Chain A
Amino acid sequence: MIKPHNVFLLLTLMLCLSTPAFASLPSMAMNSSFTLKVDDKEAVMDRLVLKAEAVGGYFLVLSDQKLILNIPQPQADRFIQFAIAQGRVLTQTQNSDDIHTQLMVKESMLKSKQTMLKKYMTVLKESDAAHAVSVEQALGKLVYQIEGLKGDIKLMRHRLDFARISFHFRFRDRTTPSANQASSFPWLNRMKLPNLLESFQ
């Protein structure tokens, strides 16, 4: 048996879904993490922060080995392509959470609590001194819940608007291979990459 409260919630959800504001929101919160091996960590970090700012993003964490950025979702793929071209990717993880439904539930809860708040205000105006205290207590609880919901919604919308991209850096050793000692096997002494490349010059 479907309760009237659930029907109301469902109808609110459907209404929310059909509104242009929801239609334009991405449905997934994106999180990506990369370990990059780079020659010059500081230079790469600077380039990534500058690029992030240029596309409307910003950095959350900028430490010795780690950089966490928030990048507008529509720019995220292009930004990642730019970032991975800065070095060699050692590890890469990408995940996305579908928080769209949770957001819609919170939005509908907020609307119903705001409606309830208006009713409580009316009741408060009409109530006598004896009942006013209990109505005020209920009002205080409701306002607290509404503020909490507003905070959650703001956070969730931000998570949908911005992809969080983390980078960990490793230094790439660019020492050219060189043999300090000759091998006991003569043909292995001739096995050198420069020899191969020079034979085509």
Chain B
Amino acid sequence: MNTTSLGLLLLCTLLLSGCPSSTKHLEGNTWVPQGFAAYKAAKKQAAISPEGIVYNIRHEKNEPFAGLLFWKKAMKKRLLDTGYIFVAESDIQSKKQKGYLLELAAPVGKQDFTWLIALYVVNNKLHIVEASGEEKIFKQHRQAIVDAAQKVGDIL
């Protein structure tokens, strides 16, 4: 390899490393819903749509240790008791994991917001995918969010 080629290679490497991290994030992460951009947040996998629909994945300890059936009942009861409006629920099945999908509504200021939660229980961890935004805009992204939440089950 001559010095010119080596120089070009170094230049390319430098240019590539200088690319915006969000693009790298989107391309490399299947958890980001289609049409969303990865959002930099501490210790979180977060994404946001151009209209402000938010998407977030977080992890909790499975304490007390229990299965999906237990946690889906506990979560639904807790959130409905708190005052969130029930919209829909269903199972969510990725290639590897079975999860639970809960859709709620709540007023936020003068607007109505949808809050979609997907829950996976894997050994001693709870994996919670949440997405929310104004209900009419949310509807436009709902399928992409559910698809992404489904893929999360595969990468756990």
Interface residue ranges, A against B (CB under 8 Å): 39, 88, 172, 174-179, 183, 185-188, 190-193, 196-197, 199-200
Contact = CB atoms under 8 A, between A and B. Distances in A.
Contact of A176 (B48, B79, B83): B83
B56 interface: yes
A188 B75 CA distance: 7
Interface stretch (B20-28, B39-47, B89-97, B148-156): B39-47
B132 A196 contact: yes
A176 B106 contact: yes
A193 B106 contact: yes
Contact of B39 (A174, A190, A192, A200): A200
Contacts of A175: 83, 107
18 contacts: A172-B107, A175-B83, A176-B107, A177-B82, A177-B83, A178-B82, A179-B78, A186-B63, A188-B75, A191-B75, A191-B78, A193-B104, A193-B132, A196-B130, A197-B132, A199-B56, A200-B46, A200-B54
Contact of A193 (B48, B60, B115): B115
**Interface residue tally on B, bucketed by range:** 20 to 34
Given A193-B106, A193-B108, A178 B41 contact: no
